[in-house]
Structure 1
């Protein structure tokens, strides 16, 4: 009996395996909606490299005052509170020593290491520039000079770059008089780049100080 079982088991296994091989194949019908009829778009652009995807980009916070100041800070220092550029300008918004003194700040080291103070100085300087340029803002905002629409935010950004006096000269010459900083950035460039932000949160103030 045991010998019969030993001989029959392999035969049974062979018959079972053979039945799988001889059974008819099942055909799976793919629904029309799932069939791929054309190349599908990919999320990663084919012409962009991995290295390019790691590039730093400025934050986009809309056209609010926060969006304005963060976009301006990114252009100035990539938003770094603790940086000093090759010309000695300090912090997130790249202030010079002379401007800091106008705001009532005389300790450059303290300024560089105090982000809260830097934000206060930025708003104070904007209020000062808005007062100095108040008549020019009323006169030129909404008009076009050299193909760009002049806006209050563009004027204030340009004043941050080159000083309110130079911005007055640009506007009153209708763009014939322009200056650039030591890195080649012009008043025209800032007027164009920072146009259209809402800077109504900044109130014009004569001789403000921290």
Structure 2
């Protein structure tokens, strides 16, 4: 089990003020050439919703099934074997301590075959048990978000950068010849990391490198679509 930077209890707290920014703040932020979170009062910006609302939207995007549909939890991607409401891959469940395997997707196999061993964490001893355990899937995605946040911050620090160099800023990205302006928020970064991994999030922030998943989904879609939720 890897160390978790954010306490799970903190992920359930919806603060009175937030570091998340709505599109109405773009002009205000652009006035600051040396931007820092303390320079702009963004607590007045409205958020899209709380953590659970963000996760419900994420589950709908991941599975193609409407929010609230219990079949989200039992959904298995027929092409690559991702599991459940949040389409977990072998690698993240290995890191979270639910699963063990020497070979897994992108590390010796061409899909998530789930041929390894389940550790019985949270009572999960099989793929079927995970697919039929909504509560555990909700716990696991929160654990995953904590790990993603730790990894993003750690990687940026190694490059002498800080997450505060980007949070709340309106950044222009060029994708396929078009300019897209996105306000970087914590919820957007977490969703982007879930899609493409923390390393590709850092490459996006530092180098402007835009990546896509196996189905052609852009990291920018998740950064924008799931940005602006209060997840702290």
Q: TM-score range by the shorter chain?
A: 0.5 to 0.7
C-alpha contact 1:137 1:155 (8 A) present in aligned 2: no
What RMSD over aligned residues (CA atoms) do the two structures have, in Å?
Answer: 1.6
**Greater helix content:** 1
The residue correspondences of 1:126-165 to structure 2 (distance < 5 A) are 126-134=145-153, 136-146=162-172, 147-165=181-199
1:100-124 deviations in Å (ceiling 9; x for gaps): 1111112333212211111111010
Greater Cα shift, 137-146 or 191-200: 137-146
Aligned to 1:182: 214
**Alpha-carbon separation, structure 1, partners of 2:143 and 2:98:** 11
1:76 to partner: Cα distance: 0.4
**For this pair of structures, how many residues does the alignment match?**
138
Aligned to 2:96: 103
Aligned to 2:74, what secondary structure does the other structure show? coil
**Alpha-carbon separation, structure 2, partners of 1:137 and 1:91:** 30
1:138 to partner: Cα distance: 2.0
Higher relative contact order (CA 8 A, sep 6+): 2
The residue correspondences of 1:165-180 to structure 2 (distance < 5 A) are 165-173=199-207, 175=208, 177-180=209-212
1:62 to partner: Cα distance: 4.6
Of residues 115, 122, 137, the one that matches 2:134 is 115
- CA distance 1:178–1:62, shift in 2 (3 Å): closer
Does 2:72 match 1:72? no
Does 2:224 match 1:192? yes
**Alpha-carbon separation, structure 2, partners of 1:109 and 1:100:** 14
Q: TM-score, normalised by structure 2?
A: 0.56
**Alpha-carbon separation, structure 2, partners of 1:93 and 1:68:** 12
Which protein has the larger Cα radius of gyration, Structure 1 or Structure 2? 1
The residue correspondences of 1:1-20 to structure 2 (distance < 5 A) are none
1:27-58 deviations in Å (ceiling 9; x for gaps): xxxxxxxxxxxxxxxxxxxxxxxxxxxxxxxx
Q: TM-score, normalised by structure 1?
A: 0.62
C-alpha contact 1:137 1:152 (8 A) present in aligned 2: no
